[in-house]
A and B are shown apart, each in its own frame.
Chain A
Amino acid sequence: MTYSAFFTIILTPLVILGLATMLTWVERRLLGLWQDRHGPNRVGPGGMFQAVADGTKILFKQDWIPPFADRGVFILAPVIGMMTGLLPFAVIPVTMGMGIAGDMNVGLLFILGMMGLGVYAVVLAGWASNSKYALLGGMRAAAQMISYEVFMGLSLLGVVMMAGSFSLHDIVAAQAGLWFIIPQCLGFGVFMLAGIAQTHRLPFDLPEGENELGAGFHTEYSGMKLGMFFIAEYAGIVLVSSLVTTLYLGGWRGPFLPPALWFALKAGAMVVFFILLRASLPRPRYDQLMALGWKILLPLSLFNVMATGTILMLRAS
């Protein structure tokens, strides 16, 4: 292992954690902007250090484990959430040379696998909390995330077929002429919806559903364990945004500006879009969510796979 690789391994999680923490502030400022108010703007320039203040506060909060909880699993759940939230960043190519694992030939599969494992964090948290709201949140999370995972994978198949590789580097390279968002617009739409559902962000935040489930699966959590769920959630936003950037928006490609900046710009725009979704859309009912998934998105993604395959076959012959 070279010195610089070691440095990258240390630095990347720190950057991701910092980004996830800062995102709480960015989100609150943007929500304020779209709701004709200011949001936190007192601590530091423009309120930037609000995230630091919140982080410090949550670190020093009493970390209470309810006596009725399944102790081991209760502690394990946020760890899984954090781990599966951070690990996929290893294979995300910010630029050609930037990234921990570099060019992993099954990078996309690795990310999908990690996102699949992420369900465990939510389900185990809901189960180990041993209380009804947490359990309801966990159950919803299980159903929602598992069913949306199906066509998340299917929608990505179109990209994989067009690039002919699971390697994220190859996928970005295949977008040299045209970003995949144009030929794969259907897949892009399905992947976006599935990505929101996967990170259980608004409007698909049914596992949390504040106004009906208390706080959903993390009702019983406090202190830094709760903070870890939050950070995992925000890391999930960053992850889905950078995935969309890599898979559909041409990754680091772009004129004039340096590649890393292009990547950051595209991913940042996606993050802002995520927050815009939260600012504007109401939460669907649970059965509506499942119906949207199985009755609309699944056929759409299957059609996308079929159409992409047909066109590629015709073009090849």
Chain B
Amino acid sequence: MLGTLRTLFLTALHAFHRRATVQYPEQKPYLPPRYRGRIILSRDPDGAERCVACNLCAVACPVDCISLQKTEADGRWYPEYFRINFSRCIFCGFCEEACPTYAIQLTPDFEMGEYTRPNLVYEKEDLLISGTGKYPDYSFYHVAGIPVPGKARGASERERPPVDLHSLLP
């Protein structure tokens, strides 16, 4: 009996507690930077595309929503087209994990509602952003050991110049 009355009292006290609901459209919830939302393609600090069209993201994708085609220009690889079908995407983040160049990233944005399905297919120009995303200083071609126009072999960060085999002769 007393327990019942206590329950009633404690429940009534909840009228003075703060409400847990976030009134969504007017009031946005805090989303952490690593939230897995809309997928973007980021750029180098230099402003070049990071994506090298290695296809690892498309392979990692469990629902096969990523489609891309490789092309070559100026001695490096680019995606000719890069297409994500967000009506299939499950926002698992596997593509981001698979990406060797930090090009594909998931962002804290989920407001992508559309009335027609074709609108959910994002092309490369929809996906590309002008910034670097979560990794502001990372530039794949500055770290990787392959030569590109403007950077000779051995000129990467933390890379020694190649050994001249001929100079080793006795």
Q: Which residue of A lies closest to B10 (CB)?
A: A280
Chain A: interface size category: 10 to 19
B130 near A: Cβ within 8 Å?
Answer: no
Residue of A nearest to B13 (CB): A34
Is the CB–CB distance between A281 and B4 below 8 Å? yes
- Is A58 an interface residue when CB atoms closer than 8 A count as contact? no
Using C-beta atoms within 8 Å of the partner chain, give the interface range for chain B. 10 to 19
Contact B11 A34 (CB under 8 A): yes
Q: Which residues of B (5-19) have their CB < 8 Å from a CB of A?
A: 7-8, 10-12, 14-15, 17-19
Neighbour of A279 across the interface among B4, B11, B21, CB < 8 A: B11
| Contact A36–B18 (Cβ < 8 Å) | yes
Residue pair B14, A35 in contact (C-beta under 8 Å): yes
Cβ of B20 within 8 Å of any chain A Cβ, yes or no, is: yes
Confirm or deny: A33 has a beta carbon within 8 angstroms of a beta carbon on chain B: yes
Residue B23 interfacial (CB < 8 Å): yes
Q: Does A260 contact B (CB under 8 A)?
A: no
Query: What's the least CB distance linking B10 to chain A, in Å?
Result: 7
In whole angstroms, what is the CA distance A279 to B11 when docked? 7
In the complex, what distance in Å separates the CA atom of A276 from the CA atom of B21? 20
* Set B11, B17, B18, B23: member contacting A280, Cβ < 8 A: B11
CA distance A280 to B3 in the complex (A): 11
Shortest distance from the beta carbon of B16 to any chain A beta carbon, whole Å: 9
Q: How far is the CA of A279 from the CA of B10 in the complex (A)?
A: 11
B14 touches A34 (CB 8 A): yes
Check A277 for interface membership: any CB of B closer than 8 A: yes
Give the shortest distance, in Å, between A259 (CB) and chain B (any CB): 28
A226 to B19, CA, bound (A): 32
Known A-B contacts A34-B14, A34-B15; the reply to A280 vs B8 at CB < 8 A is yes
**Cβ of A197 to closest chain B Cβ, rounded Å:** 15
Residues of B within 8 A of A281 (CB): 4, 7-8
- Asked, given contacts A33-B14, A34-B14, A36-B14, whether A280 binds B19 with beta carbons under 8 Å apart, the answer is no
Indicate whether A280 sits within 8 Å of B7 (C-beta atoms), given known contacts A36-B20, A37-B20, A38-B23: yes
* B11 adjacent to A36 (CB under 8 Å): no
Contact code string A285-311 (vs B, CB < 8 Å = 1, else 0): 000000000000000000000000000
A37 contacts which of B7, B8, B11, B21 (Cβ < 8 Å)?
A: B21
Interface hits, A69-90 → B, CB 8 Å: none
Per the 8 Å Cβ criterion, residues 223-281 of A in contact with B are 276-277, 279-281
Whether A276 and B20, one on each chain, are in contact in the complex, defined by CB atoms closer than 8 angstroms, is: no
Chain A residues with Cβ below 8 Å from B15 are: 33-34
Min CB gap A39→B, angstroms: 9
Q: In angstroms, how far is the closest chain B Cβ from the Cβ of A280?
A: 4
Determine if A38 and B21 form an interchain contact, defined as CB atoms under 8 angstroms apart: yes
- Distance between Cα atoms of A279 and B14 in the complex (Å): 11
| Chain B residue with Cβ nearest A279 | B11
A-contact bits for B19-46, CB 8 A (1 contact / 0 none): 1110100000000000000000000000
Q: Report the minimal beta-carbon distance from B4 to chain A, rounded to whole angstroms.
A: 7
User: Do the beta carbons of B18 and A277 come within 8 Å of each other?
Assistant: no
- In the complex, what residue of chain A is closest to B14 when comparing beta carbons? A34
CB distance from A69 to the nearest CB of B (A): 39
Contacts of A33 in B (CB 8 A): 14-15, 19
Q: Separation in Å of the B25 CB from the closest CB of chain A?
A: 10
**Which of B4, B10, B11 counts the most chain A CB atoms within 10 A?**
B11
**Quick one: closest A residue to B11, CB to CB?**
A280
When C-beta atoms are compared, the residue in chain A nearest to B5 turns out to be A280
B14 with A276: CB separation less than 8 A? no
Tell me how far the C-beta of A210 lies from the nearest C-beta in chain B, rounded to whole angstroms.
20
Question: Please, how many angstroms separate the alpha-carbon atoms of A69 and B14 in the complex?
Answer: 44
| Interfacial residues of chain A within 4-38, with CB under 8 A of chain B in the complex | 32-38
- A residues near B (Cβ < 8 Å) are 32-38, 276-277, 279-281
Give 4 nearest A-B pairs by CB, closest first: A280-B11, A37-B21, A34-B14, A280-B7
Query: Could you show 22 A-B contacts with beta carbons less than 8 Å apart?
Result: A33-B15, A34-B12, A34-B14, A35-B14, A36-B14, A36-B17, A36-B18, A36-B19, A36-B20, A37-B19, A37-B21, A38-B19, A38-B21, A38-B23, A276-B11, A276-B12, A277-B8, A279-B11, A280-B10, A280-B11, A280-B12, A281-B8
Q: A33-B19, A34-B11 are in contact. List 20 more A-B contacts (CB 8 A).
A: A32-B19, A33-B14, A33-B15, A34-B12, A34-B14, A34-B15, A36-B14, A36-B17, A36-B18, A36-B20, A37-B19, A38-B19, A38-B23, A276-B8, A276-B12, A277-B8, A279-B11, A280-B7, A280-B8, A280-B12
